[in-house]
Chain A
């Protein structure tokens, strides 16, 4: 029997609307109302300046490690802006711009990176998951959310983010496969920022594009210029509406660049050249979009000062937050506080009261060398009578 070609011809498109100087290809320009364009740009400026401010706060020791987004504002905002409030947004750990757009207050995001879990708590009506740190593990959650939306008959769409490094993980492929088989309303936005810490894309995958990985799972993938907010918007809008109409998932690969560090613990000069960074700085998504808006007369003066004031107010409000109450660590481990946790909480409270010299009358201090007994004797079982007379309490 001869070999026959069973594979149809797949295509992977690349979409670009604005060139590096902000010149428009009007044939592919998405119809975005002027106010929305202004809001997008404002959000890009806010995200950029907030990110820069966070970096300074981290260097000053006022917040902990975080993953800066500089250079990826268009990829995040062009995609997230195509969602409705009732849709779901599932971030990885580098989606500050998307999260700001979805209404996460800056104070809360600062709290998160200052080590407060309160910073990861979405509001009751917010359809966002919090930051997810293990790479790619949020992708199956998005598929499950999308399955659930379809199961309930809701028309919600789920947008989930990951980076180029995440496409090597098993969960990426399992999520893509499940999404394809189940035909659920999910949009995978891959921010291909060229580097997974020190590993360049070439060492991450031998595929020519990330977009084409979708084809293997039976749904479309498109590559866009991720530093071109209009291209990202156009591709995302198409993907979101395809999902909403019941036509299944899409992968949108945003080709972008992490202009800064991987996280604040990273030194990228070890693994990439200044020339490479400079070449991507010339493709800065903010410069390109502002050039375009300038030509259309949509650039607002004084925007930077305006967002800086907002950021300063958020930082003040964040720094005025009361210290974390350690006792609340027991509140959300389970839906109800288990007896063991109740006992551990009581022991902690007693330690604090003792340390503060406010020991309630009659309460015995926990003997330091028996701390594990004090915290681990969870059920506070009533003391049993000694069975062997020689045993005595270690102190009276």
Chain B
């Protein structure tokens, strides 16, 4: 057991999965000698050499396209896209190919691969370094989409993603990389993809969050407890696609009220799918309309205005109180 931040926890998962399976390799920009711009692949190059920790040319479509080929051959590539904002340059390789080869070949080939990308705001970064684009990947049949919320689940989910036979898009919240340390067991730990976790039990209100927004949800839940005597249940989604509809519905059948919080823009975002899942599974239990607290439907606003755009505790609190009063 060691106290690790998310960067170190992810690094541990990579190290252990590479040790246990020689078909696992890493490919991306600056992942080798430099250890990745966020240091997630640090020292792996030294341990596994440059054919297993591959510093690729600077080309996202090449990285994903070549990884698709490696996966078709039977290797298990882990690709690092330096920032999720640059992944549109390989979006076609993900959507047209990684997600589809299994279907296209009727099961003859699959793409066992993980695409890791840092996403999200709150780190005072320039355009293309702060956005949240999980909705695009969550919408693609054939992909799985995972977003951990802390060091321990990040490590366990990454190990599971690497072992998953289907392509997994793995988003890492930049705001969480160095945010907190957690006890992470030394021995290998995995976590089922497709399962949400109850981050905090409660019976008055459900807040659905994932990634960096789980922190916001926790703080709001504390305030609701202290100031309003309200017990909030936080559902930490962890897997965006396929979503754990059972856990979502079960929570709202208990609480009757739900607020969804995410950093992606509102319209057609993950909140819409989450809300629909709740409607389908807990309609007769709902006491109030489901509310969404999200970024606004505007392109990148610049980090000078970012705090006004991203969900924060006051906005989430206001939404929770609105739904409680309904």
User: A174-B65, A334-B166 in contact; A141/B102 too (CB < 8 A)?
Assistant: no
Which residues of the other chain, B, contact A379 by a CB distance below 8 angstroms?
A: 245-246, 249, 281
Q: Which listed residue, B67, B92, B242, touches A338 by the CB 8 Å rule?
A: B242
Which residues of the other chain, B, contact A171 by a CB distance below 8 angstroms?
A: 61-62, 65, 93
CA of A149 to CA of B166, assembled, Å: 21
Which residues of the other chain, A, contact B92 by a CB distance below 8 angstroms?
A: 134, 137
Which residues of the other chain, A, contact B68 by a CB distance below 8 angstroms?
A: 140-141, 144
CA of A253 to CA of B281, assembled, Å: 59
CA of A141 to CA of B113, assembled, Å: 13
Residue pair A339, B65 in contact (C-beta under 8 Å): no
Which residues of the other chain, A, contact B109 by a CB distance below 8 angstroms?
A: 122, 129
Residue pair B166, A335 in contact (C-beta under 8 Å): yes
Q: Among the interface residues A123, A149, A178, which one has the most CB atoms of the partner chain B within 10 A?
A: A178
User: A178-B57, A376-B276 in contact; A141/B284 too (CB < 8 A)?
Assistant: no
Question: How many whole Å from B167's CB to the nearest CB in chain A?
Answer: 10
Q: Which listed residue, B56, B67, B165, B256, touches A335 by the CB 8 Å rule?
A: B165
Residue of B nearest to A127 (CB): B73
CA of A130 to CA of B72, assembled, Å: 12
Q: Which listed residue, A124, A333, A376, A377, touches B102 by the CB 8 Å rule?
A: A333
B66 within 8 A of A: yes
Which residues of the other chain, B, contact A152 by a CB distance below 8 angstroms?
A: 73-75
- List which B71-130 residues lie within 8 A (CB) of chain A: 71-75, 77, 89, 92-93, 96-97, 102-110
A148 within 8 A of B: yes
Residue pair A335, B110 in contact (C-beta under 8 Å): yes
CA of A151 to CA of B29, assembled, Å: 19
A384 within 8 A of B: yes
CA of A333 to CA of B276, assembled, Å: 22
B contacts with A: majority SS: helix
**Chain A contact residue count (CB 8 A cutoff):** 54
User: A144-B70, A147-B66, A334-B102 in contact; A124/B108 too (CB < 8 A)?
Assistant: yes
Q: Which listed residue, A141, A333, A377, touches B69 by the CB 8 Å rule?
A: A141
CA of A4 to CA of B74, assembled, Å: 48
Residue pair A381, B281 in contact (C-beta under 8 Å): yes
B36 within 8 A of A: no
Question: How many whole Å from B124's CB to the nearest CB in chain A?
Answer: 31
User: A130-B104, A137-B97, A333-B141 in contact; A340/B284 too (CB < 8 A)?
Assistant: no
A142 within 8 A of B: yes
A385 within 8 A of B: yes
**Can you list 21 contacts pairing A with B, beta carbon distance less than 8 Å?**
A117-B103, A118-B106, A129-B109, A134-B96, A140-B68, A141-B69, A144-B71, A144-B72, A147-B70, A151-B51, A170-B89, A171-B65, A175-B66, A177-B59, A332-B102, A332-B105, A334-B102, A334-B142, A377-B280, A379-B246, A381-B250
Closest A-B pairs by Cβ, 4 of them = A144-B69, A140-B65, A148-B73, A174-B62
Contacts A140-B66, A147-B70, A331-B107 given; 7 further ones with Cβ under 8 A? A144-B71, A144-B72, A335-B102, A373-B280, A381-B249, A381-B250, A387-B287
